[in-house]
Amino acid sequence: MIKQRFGFELLCEWNRWAGQRGKVLLLLLGFSIVSCLFALVLRVGDALFFANPSWVGSQAQFYTVSAAYDDRRQAGVSRQTIESLEALPFVQAASWLRVINVDFRSASYPLYQPQALVFDDHLPHLLALDFPASESLQTGVWLTDRYWRETFQHDRRVVGSTLSFDKIPEGVPIRGILPPKFDRIGPWQPDIWLPEAYLNYMTPFAAQSEMMVDQFLRTVPAYYGFFSTERPLDIAAFTDELRASDFSVQGMQMQGHGGEIQVYQGIVLDDQARALLERLWQFSLLLVLGLAALFALTAFMSFSNRTLLLSEEYRLLQTLGARSWDLLRPVAMAALVQIVAISLVSLLLTLVTYQLLTQSFDDSVLAPVLRGSLGLNYWWVSMLVVSCIYLLASLFPLLSLRKRQLFSRVMGTHRSTAQLLFGQASLVFQLGLAMVTVVSATQLFKQQQAMFQPLGFDAAVTKVNVRSHGGRLPIETIETFGMNDTGRAHFAVSLSPFDAPYTIEVGTQEVGFATQFEIHNVSRNYFEVLLSDSAVHAEDWQSGVVMNRTAANFFENNGYAIQPGTTIDLGPITGTHAVHAVLDDVRHRGRFSAALPALYLPIAGKGSGANYTLYMALPEMLTRLPQYLDQHLLDASMSTPLSLGELAAQHERKAQQLFYFSLLVVGVMLAGIVLTLNYQVRARLQLERSDYGVLLAIGAPVSALLAKAFRPIAIALVIAVALTTLGYLVVGAELALPVFSGLSIIAVVCVGAIALGATYFPVARLTKTEVVTLLKQD
């Protein structure tokens, strides 16, 4: 026998939940999930909107200046643009970084043109970068931890050794190994960090031609700038001001890449991933708020129904002299015990989920914000919110019952008007939330379907990226290498990766148009290998440019009649070319990528290169490829073979993450709403079972019972539709949301069917109960 009051009162509470303990377990698990998701949402939101990336040591407010394309990809701006920021009175400091591939060599290890992040001398101080202690930040290189492990096999002795570069007269010392947080910077996984002084050796001019080198480096649009200000910045106005400024360098002309200057708040180097992450965060927040509201309503209704059923017991206790605190104390203690259980389960779920996300999404858009520890402060905040909700839902019904007279407690077996109104309001909220989630997911699905287009190439073709220290692939042999007996080519090459061509700006503001074009330098049989049904064949493509349909439409919209032989001026660097043919769009970044104007130029006129992408239509050609490369290239390195279909799937995976997650949000939300509606209907049927017993006794059909039970939900659905429509009318113009569309009808029908199903099954179960049992008063 339990002699302690605490244990006895908890045992009484346990017995009072007899027959409904499964419901309590569901509530505890539900609030644990809400707490876990809320902590993760806070973690992502803080990293997304308030914190600098993990590789930045300072928590000061910074701004990023770069170029932006229409699809939110980013590119660099000229160094002249960044240097002009330092002259502005409200700018405290400015710096930059740039990404290049450098043909460094090591006496002991093959390097294969490592990707280098070139940084301004002021960047480590401005961003408080955690560089290892070194005698100099102006000379030498720093290896990233990933590159050191993969290329130098964890050899600590490489620190202090030197690398060589053809144009640098002395060796370049390796100063140190950077912490793992520098392994990913924005969209890049750099191999080394390199001071700006070495850029002088990486221009088309001799390092001794200081004026030409300086002009070239200040003109090339390849720098990402960072700056801090004395006061908050009006980003839109400042961006317009920069776009209207002239940052050209006198005596140096260079063709642009087609992007427009854009200023961002914070350190932003991958705005595409950031935009996707914002959408994921918004859906996550919607999921958390929706689940929190659903479980809060379920808990409130569960405790209200329990309090109503136990009102007779509470009356007897108060008649025997129990004080108000004597009634509240067992419920409060039980609620605290339950909150402790919620906190333990929530903490375990949060830690496990965070570790799974960190391991499973290492290469996804979540990687930049999942790096590092979770931080239990987010979990404490989420548990504080959940605890307040749970305590309020537990104690409020009993506090409300205490205010009623004993006589009304004895006689009141039905819900009061306030309870009915609250129940109706909760129905309106749940149904409105269900429609919003369905409309959002359907709208997203519609947007992605509108972007969906065929790939336009043979997905079975295998591609291999090749880097070398010298030599040249003989373009004239590419047409014959891999040729089969039918005379069809199976081997092609391009000078840039299939999914990462370089871009140029075609046109000028003076001629009335200027936009970015993708440029692909390819072998003549490129289309024969990748596009089996192409009308462009190697034997008839000797010169000129092949453009895709989007590019042709762009020129035609600007007054050019595109047909074979039409001459197109592609700018001072690319020159003038005649149109050879027009092809359907090729989706180089997957089926959900935006169609961009693309131009294909023959590779024969480009001379030698150090980077190639090779395409093979026959898998067995991979066995012959190493020997072919050894014949023509010096110390060539091959990437892992990958089919173009797999490459496209990698890009599509990021686009599909948002859609799949939105489906998860909708599924979880609708499942929660179904459970809540089902419980509300069963609770109402329990309170009104004598009325249904009378209807069954007089022979009323099941449809009449269903209509009676569904009537409150139908009224709530009508009110929810009206309120949701009003909300879309208020915010729809600003967010470009359609008020009346097929999506709205789908949402209403879907939610109505769910509500009808949640009502039907409890009513069907009720009809199987004996009429005498329904008419019997407890």
Q: Counting beta carbons within 10 angstroms of the beta carbon of residue 141, is it exposed (0 to 12), middle (13 to 18) or buried (19 or more)? A: buried
Whole-angstrom distance, CA of residue 721 vs CA of residue 714: 11
- Show Cβ contacts of residue 262 under 8 Å, excluding neighbours closer than 6 positions: 65, 66, 67, 68, 74, 239
Tokens of 358: 């960190």
Strand partners, 642: 463
Local structure of 576: helix, strand or coil: strand
In this structure, of 326-335, 614-623, 750-759, the range with the lowest mean pLDDT score is 326-335
How are beta strands 491-494 and 611-616 bridged, if at all?
antiparallel
Tokens of 738: 């359609």
Q: For 562-572, b where at least 16 C-beta lie within 10 A, e where not — what string?
A: beeebebebbe
Residue 142: the pLDDT is 93
Let me know how many helices (H) and strands (E) the chain has, helices first.
23, 21
Tokens of 175: 């100063």
| pLDDT over 70 at 775, yes or no | no
Whole-angstrom distance, CA of residue 416 vs CA of residue 311: 14
Whole-angstrom distance, CA of residue 520 vs CA of residue 539: 19
Considering Cα of 229, then 234, then 236, then 240, what sign does the dihedral take?
negative
Whole-angstrom distance, CA of residue 702 vs CA of residue 759: 12
Whole-angstrom distance, CA of residue 753 vs CA of residue 604: 64
pLDDT digits (tens, 9 = 90+) for 524-555: 888 888 886 667 766 678 788 888 888 888 88
Q: How many beta carbons lie within 10 A of that of residue 166, not counting itself?
A: 10
- End-to-end CA separation in angstroms for the chain: 30
Are 569 and 251 within 8 A, CB to CB? Answer: no
Q: What is the mean pLDDT of the chain?
A: 79
Provide the percentage of residues in the chain whose pLDDT is more than 90: 11
- Show Cβ contacts of residue 13 under 8 Å, excluding neighbours closer than 6 positions: 330, 331, 333, 334
Q: Which residue, among 637, 44, 12, has the nearest Cα to 371 in the 3D structure? A: 44
Are 194 and 102 within 8 A, CB to CB? Answer: yes
| pLDDT over 70 at 216, yes or no | yes
Local structure of 573: helix, strand or coil: coil
Local structure of 649: helix, strand or coil: helix
pLDDT digits (tens, 9 = 90+) for 614-672: 898 887 788 888 888 888 888 788 888 899 988 888 888 877 777 777 777 777 777 77
Whole-angstrom distance, CA of residue 761 vs CA of residue 675: 12
- Show Cβ contacts of residue 337 under 8 Å, excluding neighbours closer than 6 positions: 10
Tokens of 105: 């060599």
In this structure, of 54-63, 65-74, 421-430, the range with the lowest mean pLDDT score is 421-430
Whole-angstrom distance, CA of residue 162 vs CA of residue 49: 41
Most confident of 184-193, 313-322, 447-456, 669-678: 184-193
Provide the percentage of residues in the chain whose pLDDT is more than 70: 80
How are beta strands 545-548 and 576-583 bridged, if at all?
parallel
Are 748 and 718 within 8 A, CB to CB? Answer: no
Please give the residue that has the higher pLDDT: either 456 or 20: 456
pLDDT digits (tens, 9 = 90+) for 117-171: 999 999 999 999 988 877 778 889 999 999 999 888 888 889 889 999 888 888 8
Are 574 and 602 within 8 A, CB to CB? Answer: no
Whole-angstrom distance, CA of residue 249 vs CA of residue 77: 13
Residue 411: the pLDDT is 40
- Show Cβ contacts of residue 677 under 8 Å, excluding neighbours closer than 6 positions: 427, 430, 713, 754, 755, 758, 759
Residue 94: the pLDDT is 93
Are 442 and 662 within 8 A, CB to CB? Answer: no
Residue 13: the pLDDT is 64
pLDDT digits (tens, 9 = 90+) for 77-88: 999 999 999 888
Strand partners, 91: 229
When pLDDT is cut at 50, 70 and 90, the band that residue 375 belongs to is low
| pLDDT over 70 at 310, yes or no | no
Residue 5: the pLDDT is 60
Tokens of 602: 């023959």
When pLDDT is cut at 50, 70 and 90, the band that residue 190 belongs to is very high
| pLDDT over 50 at 736, yes or no | no
Local structure of 442: helix, strand or coil: helix
* Residue corresponding to tokens 């129940």: 423
Residue 167: the pLDDT is 85
Instruction: Report residue 391: phi and psi, to 5°.
Output: -65, -45
When pLDDT is cut at 50, 70 and 90, the band that residue 184 belongs to is confident
When pLDDT is cut at 50, 70 and 90, the band that residue 401 belongs to is low
| pLDDT over 80 at 768, yes or no | no
Residue 65: the pLDDT is 95
DSSP letters spanning 214-240: HHHHHHSS-EEEEEEESS---HHHHHH
| pLDDT over 70 at 208, yes or no | yes
When pLDDT is cut at 50, 70 and 90, the band that residue 407 belongs to is very low
Residue 414: the pLDDT is 46
Instruction: Quote the Cα angle for 203-208-210, to 5°.
Output: 70
Residue 224: the pLDDT is 95
Distance of CA 150 to the CA centre of its chain: 28
Distance of CA 347 to the CA centre of its chain: 25
Distance of CA 260 to the CA centre of its chain: 23
Instruction: Tell me the helix, strand and coil percentages in the chain, rounded to 5.
Output: 50, 15, 35
Long-range contacts of 555-558 (CB under 8 A, 24+ apart): 558/507, 558/512, 558/513
Whole-angstrom distance, CA of residue 232 vs CA of residue 677: 48
Q: How many residues appear in the chain?
A: 778
Whole-angstrom distance, CA of residue 758 vs CA of residue 753: 9
Residue 482: the pLDDT is 60
Whole-angstrom distance, CA of residue 60 vs CA of residue 306: 53
Tokens of 638: 């091959």
pLDDT digits (tens, 9 = 90+) for 237-284: 999 999 888 888 877 777 777 788 999 998 999 888 888 788 878 878
In this structure, of 3-17, 57-71, 201-215, 286-300, the range with the lowest mean pLDDT score is 3-17
Local structure of 421: helix, strand or coil: helix
Local structure of 101: helix, strand or coil: strand
